[in-house]
Amino acid sequence: MAVDNIVYLIPALPVLAFVLTLAFGKKLPSGGGYIPILAIAISCIISVLAFLQINETGVPIEVSAHWFSVLNVGILIDPLASVMLMMVTFVSLLIHIYAIGYMAHDPAKPRYFAETALFTAAMLGVVLSDNILQFFIAWELVGLCSYLLIGFWFRKPSAAAAGKKAFLTTRVGDVLFLAGIVILFFNMREHVLPHITGHETVYLLQFSTIFENIHLIPSGQLTHQTTHFTQIICTSRMNYTTCTQEQTCFKECMIDKVEHGKTYCRSTYYRSHSQCQHHISKLADRGKSKYTLDIVHY
């Protein structure tokens, strides 16, 4: 049997392990930890077989299915992806085996093994994706699982705060990532699709389609639209709150100048509320009222 026909099992088995462990883990030995171990071990074996086939033939493994319109769901395993598959599945397998002993006395171990199984599936989804939208979805799952695992002991305030901080920080990049995908899609539809409509199937966000036709998008088009989309606007507002925590940083951003439609700001950080209040009073005396005051906890 060709490996091409079973590569979909590489991410599918950890997903199945996630469902089974979450549903039945409390009734099974070791919190159901042996379910993801078995699933990831099989995924690792299939990854090795895929690597051997690609190493022998030199031909990447490509599996694609129509989703809707000009979008698809697919798997692409090239030489680099085959190496990454082996690394991800092997390291994840070792982590799960170690966790059987490490989490032995934790009553929440079924949830832990379910989350790590989903985390493994998400990482494999990132490696296997053959289009940028599928890559983004898998990447979001990685972020979700990171949040769940960082805040696993959520009853500890420090763990809950760390999970929230990690989740919110990565969302900033993810929003811009999604914006870039949207901008790319509309440019592909406008500039690329008219040149390749003769083909039977065209998937605009498939990596092969993007790499082969990106030259059809006018030079500077993506850069100009991205810059316009992410332009920073400083608003005129004032808001300050009494500080009750020792490790609090007060950030004051004063509008410096407006030039060619762009707003430039100066930022100053203070370690005490009194210093910040004193500086605000000095600014008010000079008639400079267009600034923002934010409280940043860390």
Pick the closest to residue 77 from 17, 9, 28 (CA basis). 9
Overall number of domains in the chain: 2
Q: Which domain, by its residues, includes 290?
A: 248-297
User: What pLDDT is recorded for position 270?
Assistant: 43
- Order of strands, sheet of 248-259, starting from the edge strand that comes earlier in the sequence: 262-270, 248-259, 291-297
CB 97 within 8 A of CB 37: yes
* pTM passes above 0.75: no
Secondary structure class of 192 (helix, strand, coil): helix
Q: Are 289 and 283 in contact (CB under 8 A)?
A: yes
Given 150, 168, 189, which residue is the final one in a domain? 150
Long-range contacts of 20-27 (CB under 8 A, 24+ apart): 21/110, 21/113, 21/114, 21/117, 22/110, 22/111, 22/114, 25/109, 25/110, 25/111, 25/113, 25/114, 26/110
The predicted pLDDT at position 283 comes to 53
| pLDDT of 267 | 47
Do 145 and 15 have their domain in common? yes
For residue 74, being part of any structural domain is answered with yes
Report if residue 132 sits inside a domain. yes
Q: Is residue 293 part of a domain?
A: yes
Domain-ending residue, one of 150, 183, 201: 150
Scanning the structure block, which residue is given the tokens 């042996």?
34
Q: Tell me which DSSP letter residue 218 carries.
A: P
Note whether residue 34 is domain-resident: yes
Q: Could you report the average pLDDT of every consecutive run of 10 residues in the chain (298 residues)?
A: 87 96 92 95 96 93 87 92 96 96 92 96 96 95 93 90 89 90 89 72 86 82 58 36 37 47 47 51 51 41
